[in-house]
Amino acid sequence: MEILENYSLKNLNTFGIDAKADYYVSIRNEEEIEELVNTGIIQNNKFFILGGGSNILFADNFKGLVIDINIRGIKIIESKEDSILIEAGAGEFWDDLVTLCLNNKFYGLENLALIPGKVGAAPVQNIGAYGVEQKDFYDSLSGYNLESQKNETLNYNKCRFNYRDSVFKLELKNKFIITQVRYKLNKSENLNLSYKELSQEIDKVNVEKPDAKLVYDTVRRLRTSKLPDYRLLGNAGSFFKNPIISENNFNKLKERYNDIKGFNLPDAKVKLSAGWLIEQCGWKGKRIGNTGVSEKHALILVNFGNATGKEILELSEKIRHKVIEKFEIELENEVLII
């Protein structure tokens, strides 16, 4: 384990922001975490736990230590007649895990194909797409609690998963290094085609019995056509969360905007499309200097090459204000600003 100084983070965040960290360390196993804690650097500095850098925006240089989690390894913990318990190191790429599972006929994660980032971050914001969230197959995780300085295992209930949320964004924020995550997957296919756009695409293929491979391929195709490639155009996916409002407020909005889209949730709540709200404010495809809003998807802010984190942040504030002005809805960031 080596602590490096004045380290460029440009290749470690999908926005491609050229921020520098005062200190940087790459962690490859649990022993290195304890070694790091024993140096005292964590106790004396601000620090940030980094995965693939695909859900963050460095608004400035980082005056502290970046802990880059590169713990690898995928193994089967338990195999039963109808299910499999699989464990992946926090530093494995999420999409590699999804692909490996599909290739081995372990089913469930196929709707979550091609989400950027690493396994360790998946429970943090309870990643989700096309009608599935990682919580649906989550079993447990292991990690190091920096406060108690102990290894801990957290089961489902302790993680308090919610829409793009978990205990790792609340009480355990910046206090817990996830080292391995375990998922319980099915050995037989049980497709989730609840997401309309996905089922419509699959219907177009016109096969008698869709299978998990078709779901996986369709999700990849949809994502590739809808989202800008961050390797070509820096971005961190959806910049804002989809807002959840009361049914009452939704009905009032519907009177003014009859094409507004809403997805009914329990407890008389409705989830709106933040992308639609932004598009209605005229932001889709708009460019300001080195920053802009993707022309493919209004929820994605992009770096055209040399934008600073501050410039992206300023753009996000402008968008937020416009949406408040027009709809009286305040968008909450999905991307973590650092």
Side-chain half-sphere exposure of 184, counting CA atoms within 13 A: 11
Place of tokens 């971050």: 121
The residue (of 122 and 154) whose beta carbon lies closer to ligand FAD is 122
The residue (of 106 and 176) whose beta carbon lies closer to ligand FAD is 176
Decide if residue 177 touches ligand FAD (CB under 6 A): yes
Judged by CB under 6 A, which of 65, 115, 313, 319 binds ligand FAD? 115
Place of tokens 């009905």: 251
Whose CA is closest to 15, among 235, 333, 227, 309?
235
* Residue 62-81 contact track with ligand FAD, rule CB under 6 A, x = bound: -------x------------
**How large is the greatest C-alpha to C-alpha distance in the chain, in angstroms?**
61
Decide if residue 52 touches ligand FAD (CB under 6 A): yes
Judged by CB under 6 A, which of 127, 132, 215, 272 binds ligand FAD? 127
Total binding residues toward ligand FAD, as defined by CB under 6 A: 34
Q: Where are the alpha helices (H) located in the chain, listed in sequence order?
A: 30-39, 41-44, 94-103, 156-159, 196-205, 212-226, 247-256, 274-280, 309-327
Decide if residue 49 touches ligand FAD (CB under 6 A): yes
Q: Is-catalytic flag, 334?
A: yes
Q: Which of residues 211-230 bind ligand FAD (CB under 6 A)?
A: 227, 230
Sorted by sequence, the CB contacts under 8 Å of residue 129 that are 6+ apart come out as 111, 112, 115, 219, 223
User: How many other CB atoms are found less than 10 A from the CB of residue 196?
Assistant: 11
Judged by CB under 6 A, which of 101, 102, 198, 236 binds ligand FAD? 236
- Residues annotated as catalytic are 164, 238, 334
Q: Interface with ligand FAD by CB under 6 A: which residues?
A: 14, 48-56, 69, 90, 115-118, 120-122, 124-125, 127-129, 168, 176-178, 227, 230, 235-237, 336
